Amino acid sequence: MIKPHGAETLTPLYISDDAQRAELTKEAEELPSVLLSSGAAASAVMLASGYFTPLTGYMNIAEATNVASDMKLPNGLFWPVPILNIVSDDQLTDAVKNADRIALRDPNVDGNPPLAVMTVSAIETFTSEQKHLIIEKTFGTTDPEHPGVPAFADVGDNVLSGSIEVLNYSYFPEDFPDTFRTAVEIRENIAARGWETVVAFQTRNPMHRAHEELCKIAQREVNADGVLIHMLLGKLKPGDIPAAVRDAAIRAMVQHYFPENTVSITGYGFDMLYAGPREALLHAVFRQNSGASHFIVGRDHAGAGDFYGPFDAQKIFDEILADALEIEIFRGNWTMWCNKCNKIIMMGDCPHGQDDYFSISGTKMREMLGAGEPLPPEISRPEVAEILMEYYQNEVN
């Protein structure tokens, strides 16, 4: 199996020993604490799960600006996105300022229980120039209309860095018991299935027929033993379909349209950044950590609105050093129904032209689903459309 990124084995930061975890939980209740942002809490879950191997905690400002500017950690290892714990002024109490260790509380669970304990290396404050640089490099824009920009910019200016020990996986195991899996668990499952070549597919949306066929095309072309459908389970921008609905739709599609034991349906606990090319690189890092040998990067990967070109997330892989990652990238083209081929095709593999292709916009699909109109079978499997229709009609009504 492919090695983790920058390490021989995964380095999950979850404290798995029951006695040690109980002791740490008791300590956490007595420590000064800060309430994490949702993004920082999600990063703690990713660190706990081994997805962010080989990181040991949150970055300081120098590390973050280096990652933003050059996509490198201090030791020279490739890393594409800063992983930060930023807090507002009201969180930075005197007790926190004077503490060597602090508790990090979960904003997404009732009662805000401790999620992790942090050994504080530094407490720093962003200059406006540092913050601007990190936002611009990470998102490719500072436009507040980009959903990721205010999520970063409005949290605060105080950066708490240091290693962490994680007590739990937040709300993800309880809300998604059949889907949430750590990188450790995914690697174990891949080994148990006897898979050697695995192609990973990222999604924050339900999978329509074009997504289904893209997975099948990639699996055929790289001769993969299986497909890892790996869905984001964390926070999304308004208008995106909730994870539970998406999960049900994906499971219906796989059950009816993929051969048995060729797909592993899993999810990870992270909030969507909508950072386009940089987020595609981060997705590749933690798919390598999950044991996938190949990763599909399709059209408008991790994008939002018109902030990125349709294939910018593929082009960025040409800009990094060849040995930056071991995972191989499968580049998806426009994928759609061809009336003459009478099937879903990937543009470039079909001799026909635009007049032969059938597609409808996402806006039109949402309108049809809200009105109770069935989606065309060329676009969506009926089992998937039924689940989505129920959701949209409930939302509308």
Mean pLDDT of 203-216: 92
Place of tokens 């611009």: 136
- Give pLDDT, residue 192: 97
Tell me the C-alpha distance between 90 and 34, whole Å: 9
From the list 21, 101, 193, 204, the catalytic residue is 204
CATH (domain of 258): 3.40.50.620
From the list 66, 112, 189, 205, the catalytic residue is 205
Please tell me whether residues 35 and 144 are part of one structural domain.
yes
Place of tokens 């065309």: 376
- Give pLDDT, residue 312: 96
Kindly list the distances between the CA atom of residue 179 and the CA atoms of 93, 127, 269, 372, 385, in Å, as whole numbers in the listed order. 38, 40, 10, 29, 21
Tell me the C-alpha distance between 50 and 285, whole Å: 11
Kindly list the distances between the CA atom of residue 226 and the CA atoms of 122, 153, 218, 322, 338, in Å, as whole numbers in the listed order. 44, 40, 10, 25, 26
Judge whether residue 393 has pLDDT over 90: no
Task: Provide the domain count of the chain.
Answer: 2
Please tell me whether residues 226 and 331 are part of one structural domain.
yes
Neighbours of 231 (CB within 10 A): 22
Please tell me whether residues 321 and 195 are part of one structural domain.
yes
Mean pLDDT of 340-369: 85
Strands 57-58 and 158-166: antiparallel
pTM for this predicted structure: 0.95
How many residues does this entry show for the chain? Answer: 397
Please tell me whether residues 316 and 252 are part of one structural domain.
yes
273 located within any domain: yes
Q: Is the dihedral of CA 219, 223, 229, 232 positive or negative?
A: negative
Please tell me whether residues 369 and 256 are part of one structural domain.
yes
Please, which residues have CB within 8 angstroms of residue 77's CB and are 6 or more apart in sequence? 5, 6, 54
Which has the higher per-residue pLDDT, 360 or 81? 81
Please tell me whether residues 283 and 142 are part of one structural domain.
no
Alpha helix ranges (H) inside the chain: 18-30, 38-49, 61-70, 94-97, 128-139, 148-153, 172-175, 183-193, 209-221, 243-257, 277-289, 312-315, 362-370, 382-396
Tell me the C-alpha distance between 200 and 263, whole Å: 10
Strands 114-125 and 158-166: antiparallel
Tell me the C-alpha distance between 63 and 56, whole Å: 13
Instruction: Give the model's confidence band at 396: pLDDT under 50 very low, under 70 low, under 90 confident, else very high.
Output: low
Asked if 47 and 57 count as a contact pair (C-beta separation under 8 A), the reply is yes
Judge whether residue 12 has pLDDT over 90: yes
12 located within any domain: no
Judge whether residue 19 has pLDDT over 90: yes
| DSSP for 215-271, written as a single string | HHHHHHHTT-SEEEEEEE-S---TTSPPHHHHHHHHHHHHHHHS-TTSEEEEEE---
Mean pLDDT of 10-32: 98
Please tell me whether residues 232 and 363 are part of one structural domain.
yes
pLDDT, tens only, 240-256: 889 999 999 999 999 99
| Three-state secondary structure call for residue 127 | coil
Please tell me whether residues 332 and 384 are part of one structural domain.
yes
Instruction: Give the model's confidence band at 397: pLDDT under 50 very low, under 70 low, under 90 confident, else very high.
Output: low
Tell me the C-alpha distance between 393 and 397, whole Å: 6
- Give pLDDT, residue 213: 94
289 located within any domain: yes
Q: Which residue from 157, 177, 164, 147 is spatially nearest to 58, judged by alpha carbons?
A: 164
Q: Identify whether 193 is a catalytic site residue.
A: no
Please tell me whether residues 102 and 202 are part of one structural domain.
no
- Give pLDDT, residue 219: 97
pLDDT, tens only, 252-311: 999 999 999 999 999 999 999 999 999 999 999 999 999 999 999 998 899 988 999 999
Residue 115's domain comprises 18-170
Q: Identify whether 204 is a catalytic site residue.
A: yes
Please tell me whether residues 262 and 323 are part of one structural domain.
yes
Mean pLDDT of 228-241: 91
In terms of phi and psi (left: phi > 0; alpha: psi -120 to 50; beta: otherwise), the region of 254 is alpha
294 located within any domain: yes
| Residue finishing a domain among 170, 198, 219 | 170
Q: Rg for the chain (alpha carbons), in Å?
A: 21
286 located within any domain: yes
In terms of phi and psi (left: phi > 0; alpha: psi -120 to 50; beta: otherwise), the region of 162 is left
pLDDT, tens only, 118-150: 999 999 999 999 999 999 999 999 999 999 999
- Give pLDDT, residue 318: 96
| Residue finishing a domain among 107, 142, 170 | 170
Number of alpha carbons in the 13 Å side-chain half-sphere of residue 14: 19
Please tell me whether residues 40 and 164 are part of one structural domain.
yes
CATH (domain of 139): 3.10.400.10
Asked if 49 and 13 count as a contact pair (C-beta separation under 8 A), the reply is no
The overall average pLDDT reported for the chain is 95
| Residue finishing a domain among 107, 136, 170 | 170
10 located within any domain: no
Mean pLDDT of 22-38: 98
Question: What is the amino acid identity at position 275?
Answer: A
Please tell me whether residues 157 and 192 are part of one structural domain.
no
